[in-house]
Structure 1
């Protein structure tokens, strides 16, 4: 396995796990089970039928979540990680990556999916979404991909 592929896999597992755990915890306050959260993700493919799809739909949601995360991590690793700014300012890059991924998910992915998407742009849900994406997605990606690994990635592309 190449160093780049290994970096993408490790980073995907960390950021993807933190992100989905944050989603589970936030939804538990509303008494929504993790299976239902994963079915909601699967509804991007299946529409409302995902909610009656049981564990197979939840599994599709989990796989979809990690595949999308892997694609986003790969873009970061290939196009950003080797740059001087990414190596020298991982905190800034983590914040910007988290914000960028939040915007991408809400402005592109969700509207193009089959999810019954009703955006809530009131202050608190947006702030919570941004904080989760910065801390659970952007920061792990930026810090795991920085430094010598990022430089090697840039040289192999």
Structure 2
């Protein structure tokens, strides 16, 4: 059981986090190392992160993966209690992606060293929102793939 939960978190978090960086890079036509420095700027501040070269990019990748693993773990553990999250994983994953977008942009980033005070303008965030919808779907897919089987087995055992 624990093995399947760990797989859901690792696959969901690492794949969603890695694809997020790759797609942001492709959409914005920036080197992925620059995108990773932007992530690192949350800890280092913008000037230090963008002057930090490869070590700052490596820190950005580590931070991206850690955040993605945490975000995946929250969904996976919630899905063990709320089976609707795995039964209806597509709409729930989309909603989770939107929630993740707003939490990251309006709670996490403002309290980081990369804080900016830009007002919400939907046209400026369309690609980010679409990417977060995909991000949430990936996490929900792996929760469905690995946790729903575990939950079904546990429910069956408990019903005996």
Q: TM-score, normalised by structure 1?
A: 0.86
Q: Counterpart of 2:24?
A: 23
Cα gap change, 1:107 to 1:152, in 2 (>3 Å): same
* Paired positions, count: 151
Cα gap change, 1:69 to 1:97, in 2 (>3 Å): same
Give, in whole Å, the separation in 2 of the partners of 1:143 and 1:83.
15
Residue 43 of structure 2 is aligned to residue 45 of structure 1: yes
Deviations 1:48-97 (A, max 9, x none): 21111110000000110010000010011001255231222111101110
Q: TM-score, normalised by structure 2?
A: 0.85
Q: Is the 8 A contact 1:83 1:150 kept in 2?
A: no
5+ residue gaps, structure 2: 155-160
Residue 106 of structure 2 is aligned to residue 107 of structure 1: yes
**Higher Rg of the two aligned structures:** 2
Give, in whole Å, the separation in 2 of the partners of 1:143 and 1:34.
25
Q: Output the aligned Cα RMSD.
A: 2.0
Q: Counterpart of 2:157?
A: none
